[in-house]
Structure 1
């Protein structure tokens, strides 16, 4: 459940089972075999959620906290182990829970499972008075079984039995201390129940003698000398890690791969240790190839297996492309990019041919597994998926997004499919959507050719790359798309129109696409929302960003551009009324925020924009005080700034309530004076260490940072002419700028983690829009940065198409900044650039927003954002935010 007051983290429970849309995990159907055990007469069983099944003896209350006993298992023995553990629990009257299905078991033991809870198949809740006997009984019956080591716990003896001290259950109201589910009570004090992937005994716990001895003995047995020294971690997974290390005996820097036994289980029944064995075998077979790492050492230390290999020179191919691709016109450089990628592809093709001649098939060719050194030499790494037989068709077990085969195929063909996708990516680096739309990569060819022709790259270089791609396209197995996704097809139209009627044709295609997506969603989804959205918004059906109301607003604006008023009657009218009523009825549901983009005040504003003006004003008056009181954050997205912004908008539209009017002005002035005193208390100042597009991980930019407060202050100054707000506007922009840096090309962008961002929500586009909107109120030094911001948004393409974090936001800010006010031309240019991301569905077009994986129609990433961008260009102003006319 989402708490009413947003915290700085958010969990997204979604799955990809639906071929077309993101859906909540609870809406998916698990058809795998269930785990089940006998239920004694005086016991009860309950499935509290889709993951766990609990059995407990009636008339028996477990302690609130104690030593949890976790049991892990191999997949092959899991049913037998569950039967044994259940028998012991029944004998000792110990409450226990177990995973519900085999699919849940595989996911919990997969490579990507959370390391803090991976491996936990059964959890038992014994009292301290029986703990030793209970453990010994389990040990006697499970000593011949194996299972993955549970990182949050410590193993009891030999069997896959693990312990940690933690919370068993919620506190009983009015009978026990009112503690949270992650709090322990130790010596009368509340202590955090640490659930990290490491064993911790909470300070202050009194240990019985048998547990003290167990801890002392285990520390002695786990000490072992390592033949290597780990320098740093490259990445971790549930299966283990990949490290930069120093191999002592060889006195050499190496790449060290680690695997934990019985982890990394895939749906083919293989563990991470099987894949490490395959990698070692592949590298031995290829040992004299300069472009493949040599094995330098392998072995087992403690319980983990390790493989040390050569540290190959170079950077991953995706980083090489980021450094060298002409994303901006002014970065086209020496025109050698195409000749360089032709050489890289030629070398990669030769490398794969040589591996195949030795009956080694990589099976996971993608950008991160290809290294390019300073001389453009190619290395191919990460051979853990390797196969050694090409006689039978197989299913590809692992694939990066956009590089996986659509069909079961021969291992050699799977490799060539990966090489082909690499070639397409190098020519035009937008490939993720080819995992959703079969043949999408072919849609990109004409855009790549147009780009390099316009940038005056040598024609013979363009032709050479095209011939290589054609060769690879013909080399792979033709795909007969029999999946449900076959209704979504590449968009092959050429958008070259130049008049209003041609533009309107594509508005119709967008509207038709929304209609088809709406029908498909309502036919296949179990959820109660009306439109498909990005997984960020599956549980957030209020506010601007992801709500049904927001999507309906986008539809209304686009239909208005089409001048088809009849489309706003009939079905639309009834749908609008139903969504509004449902939205209002859930205002008192404590899972929703009060905010503008994710909450109630945003819904009220959209109700106003949908033409229900009196209703919106009434709702605002009714809820204003409670919304402001419930709101802890200050930003525009989910905080007080958004509520106050809607407040002054309502005042500007004639809100007939003097009491509320005085309250808004009073709160607005207090908000502004507090900001003047301490901007840092409103939003963090400076560069962000977190690297994410997640709305609840972001702290900068128009939607999440000081820039959004600047938008509020600018509108407040327009409405009141109070100099306080003009001062705060300038202060907010200056404070926001502390997080911005110039890139190597001189464009000014928001610094987040290891990247610079130009987006509307977080970055240069948002900054440019605030400055354009308020230029007459700003100090001269702030106006001098506009050309550097324009540089950042004037790109040839963007990874995503959406309004918040994609191309729509960049194009909109650029065109509003230039202010030529030629709506048809601007809309045509936006649609032309968006056509790279369009997919055809029936007679319409759709967008797979901010992932390329699924259809999204929300304002943040999909259709709704495109509609608002088009109407903003029509009106020559940003329509996403309330503004004072």
Structure 2
């Protein structure tokens, strides 16, 4: 799974969304860091774009690319860092932008946030190259000693929060290696080339770093695995909090795992960083020493600012992977024998995990983040080892975890051991049907899921009753997270919720004969989820909506796809059609041209909805693009574009039809 989904899932209780749309009870829409700016001088212009608030002198000239400055900050240091940086920028008339809220900064630095962009709290754009060195020098002096995470994509100046990188100032795009638009900078000849934005510092081949950066480049080159007395053999996992590495002790040939933690990065919901959680995990594991169901700890190391926990390598396969490999319903007509074998396997796995959890409970420890990826199964499938105790707590603390897998996360009415007991109940059902994420929206779904398990597998429904009772909790317990903010979409088209104290209605079973009813419910839900007031998307969807300017409008992920589905179901949404038309008049730079990801698919949809002239205008725009650099694919490449252009040519006059067919032929 793409770990970026976790960051988008944290922003909204029901739908994937961007961090700047996150709404919490504590910080609804406040921009509390902005108070640290002080008085903005006259003649400065302000704007809010996505996660950022920008300030620049009116009429300021900013070059399209060059050396820019990024400043990181811990959550608590952010107001001080912003105040000091803003004073310098105001005095020297340097445009800058910053993350305006603690909530946004926490999400940008979360455990599964984008590693390339994580850590960036402020960005400064020196108006002329001559400003770069003195600005770096004075800013580093002003912020000396302030804590902040290391920005992986940048070069760090000394040991403070100031980092630099050569890249684009203004949004420009060019075809990437796969032909799709990517951020760009100009080479010495003026040609646009990709501006890589990965979690590694890189300088374009034609750019010579200023001389004052030499000692910082040397320090970066010298940093590495020195100080680690083990041979690193490879990486098992990366997150924004650090990596997990496979290693070997050269003195004994013993296989080990090194778990890394970066300071001020990989933040949990309560703001604790990866180092604090790894230190806590070590303490917990040492308290569980001797148990066969937890990894043995050897030592911890500090290399630079990074902390490493050295543990025994646990051979085997995670329960999640093992489940995926053998799940019978991933095959057509698995047969009664396969279903029975899986049911017996699921029962045995659940018993092994239950016994392991009982062992740690006997030591007074709650795991807190129990799910299938945190369980390692031995090759003979006779033993399990529990992994990842970052969220663990003592039974006596009656605590709630700060991180949890949404398919196994206990509701707010559970603390201490009850958190693990709830996860075990979810596991009981998930080992047959992995749909327990739905419990976060409606715990009454547990009974329906248990009914389905008993219907499909040779499992007694009564044997699932205890799990269902555990998940449902007390009568009328309500949703798993009653304090979650309400979704932004209107709910006027949906049935009214049951009155307090009355049982939730059980929906009718869906079958082929009940398809019209199911279709109508889907249509109502889609219409109720629309947000036409937003500029980035009209309907919620996959995180790919936020990856390009056309994502929220596209056929594959956005409004065009929803309108096509509604139209096929005999429904129209004029409000959403107007939203889509408004966003196709002047497509933003960097908008893809493809069938599923861009303009071609939007044009095809508009034509099917009767907006033929607007579709032809869009198709003509696509036909003028340099399509030769695109891949041959149907999704975003030449095959899909050729089909659309050839189809729309039949709607055009002879001259335009010839141009569209010629472009389609070039793609073919």
Matches of 1:108 and 1:544, distance apart in 2 = 28
Map of 1:147 onto structure 2: 148
Map of 2:286 onto structure 1: 284
Q: CA shift at 1:365, angstroms?
A: 0.4
Matches of 1:660 and 1:169, distance apart in 2 = 34
Map of 1:68 onto structure 2: 68
Shift of the 388–214 alpha-carbon distance from structure 1 to 2, 3 Å rule, reads same
Asked if the contact 1:541/1:598 (under 8 Å) is kept, the reply is no
**Which of 335, 340, 347 in structure 2 is aligned with 1:342?**
347
Shift of the 469–398 alpha-carbon distance from structure 1 to 2, 3 Å rule, reads farther
Matches of 2:661 and 2:66, distance apart in 1 = 54
TM-superposition CA deviations, 1:705-736 (whole Å, max 9, x none): xxxxxxxxxxxxxxxxxxxxxxxxxxxxxxxx
**Which of 431, 452, 465 in structure 2 is aligned with 1:470?**
465
- Map 1:679-828 to 2 at 5 A: none
Matches of 2:5 and 2:434, distance apart in 1 = 30
Segments of structure 1 that go 5 or more residues without pairing to the other structure are: 1-9, 172-179, 454-461, 498-502, 560-567, 676-885
Map of 2:177 onto structure 1: none
**Which of 262, 271, 274 in structure 1 is aligned with 2:273?**
271
Give the match's secondary structure for 1:267. coil
The answer to whether the aligner puts 1:447 opposite 2:435 as a matched pair is no
- Map 1:243-642 to 2 at 5 A: 243-327=245-329, 328=331, 329-330=333-334, 332-333=337-338, 335-376=340-381, 377-394=383-400, 396-453=401-458, 462-463=459-460, 469-475=464-470, 477-478=473-474, 479-481=477-479, 482=482, 484=486, 492-494=507-509, 503=513, 505-515=514-524, 517-519=526-528, 521=530, 526=534, 532-536=540-544, 539=550, 545=556, 551=562, 554-555=565-566, 557-558=568-569, 575-576=573-574, 587-591=584-588, 596-597=595-596, 616=612, 627-630=622-625, 632=627, 633=630, 635-638=633-636, 641-642=639-640
Asked if the contact 1:439/1:490 (under 8 Å) is kept, the reply is no
Give the match's secondary structure for 2:233. strand
Asked if the contact 1:631/1:639 (under 8 Å) is kept, the reply is no
Shift of the 490–283 alpha-carbon distance from structure 1 to 2, 3 Å rule, reads farther
Count of residue pairs brought into register by the alignment: 617
Matches of 2:444 and 2:411, distance apart in 1 = 10
Map of 2:33 onto structure 1: 35
Shift of the 438–149 alpha-carbon distance from structure 1 to 2, 3 Å rule, reads same
Q: CA shift at 1:606, angstroms?
A: 5.4
TM-superposition CA deviations, 1:567-588 (whole Å, max 9, x none): x8xxx6xx55x66566556554
Shift of the 405–371 alpha-carbon distance from structure 1 to 2, 3 Å rule, reads same
TM-superposition CA deviations, 1:353-379 (whole Å, max 9, x none): 221121211111001001112322211
Matches of 1:223 and 1:320, distance apart in 2 = 33
Asked if the contact 2:317/2:378 (under 8 Å) is kept, the reply is yes
Matches of 2:399 and 2:100, distance apart in 1 = 32
Segments of structure 2 that go 5 or more residues without pairing to the other structure are: 173-181, 488-495, 499-503
Shift of the 608–626 alpha-carbon distance from structure 1 to 2, 3 Å rule, reads closer
Matches of 2:228 and 2:169, distance apart in 1 = 37
Matches of 2:10 and 2:507, distance apart in 1 = 26
Q: Kindly indicate whether structure 1 or structure 2 has the higher relative contact order, using CA contacts under 8 Å at least 6 residues apart.
A: 1
Give the match's secondary structure for 1:298. strand
Give the match's secondary structure for 1:288. coil
TM-superposition CA deviations, 1:228-281 (whole Å, max 9, x none): 111011111111100111133453111110011111122312111111012111
- Report which of the two structures shows the higher radius of gyration computed on alpha carbons: 1
Asked if the contact 1:259/1:276 (under 8 Å) is kept, the reply is yes
Give the match's secondary structure for 2:406. coil
Shift of the 219–372 alpha-carbon distance from structure 1 to 2, 3 Å rule, reads closer
Q: CA shift at 1:387, angstroms?
A: 1.0
TM-superposition CA deviations, 1:157-183 (whole Å, max 9, x none): 343333334444579xxxxxxxx9742
Shift of the 19–510 alpha-carbon distance from structure 1 to 2, 3 Å rule, reads farther
Q: Greater shift after overlay, 324-333 or 25-34?
A: 25-34
Matches of 2:60 and 2:600, distance apart in 1 = 47
Matches of 1:622 and 1:212, distance apart in 2 = 52
Map of 1:229 onto structure 2: 231
Asked if the contact 1:371/1:379 (under 8 Å) is kept, the reply is yes
Q: Greater shift after overlay, 253-262 or 482-491?
A: 482-491
Shift of the 357–55 alpha-carbon distance from structure 1 to 2, 3 Å rule, reads same
Matches of 1:164 and 1:648, distance apart in 2 = 44
Give the match's secondary structure for 1:231. strand
Matches of 1:186 and 1:531, distance apart in 2 = 42
TM-superposition CA deviations, 1:755-805 (whole Å, max 9, x none): xxxxxxxxxxxxxxxxxxxxxxxxxxxxxxxxxxxxxxxxxxxxxxxxxxx
Matches of 2:288 and 2:436, distance apart in 1 = 30
Map of 1:98 onto structure 2: 98
Q: CA shift at 1:437, angstroms?
A: 3.2
Shift of the 469–525 alpha-carbon distance from structure 1 to 2, 3 Å rule, reads farther
CA root-mean-square deviation: 4.2
Shift of the 556–164 alpha-carbon distance from structure 1 to 2, 3 Å rule, reads closer
Matches of 1:381 and 1:63, distance apart in 2 = 49
**Which of 194, 197, 217 in structure 2 is aligned with 1:195?**
197
TM-score w.r.t. the length of structure 2 is 0.78
Map of 1:212 onto structure 2: 214
Structure 1 or 2: more helix by fraction: 1
Shift of the 31–232 alpha-carbon distance from structure 1 to 2, 3 Å rule, reads same
Matches of 2:171 and 2:537, distance apart in 1 = 32
Matches of 2:170 and 2:16, distance apart in 1 = 32
Give the match's secondary structure for 1:433. helix
Matches of 2:131 and 2:615, distance apart in 1 = 59
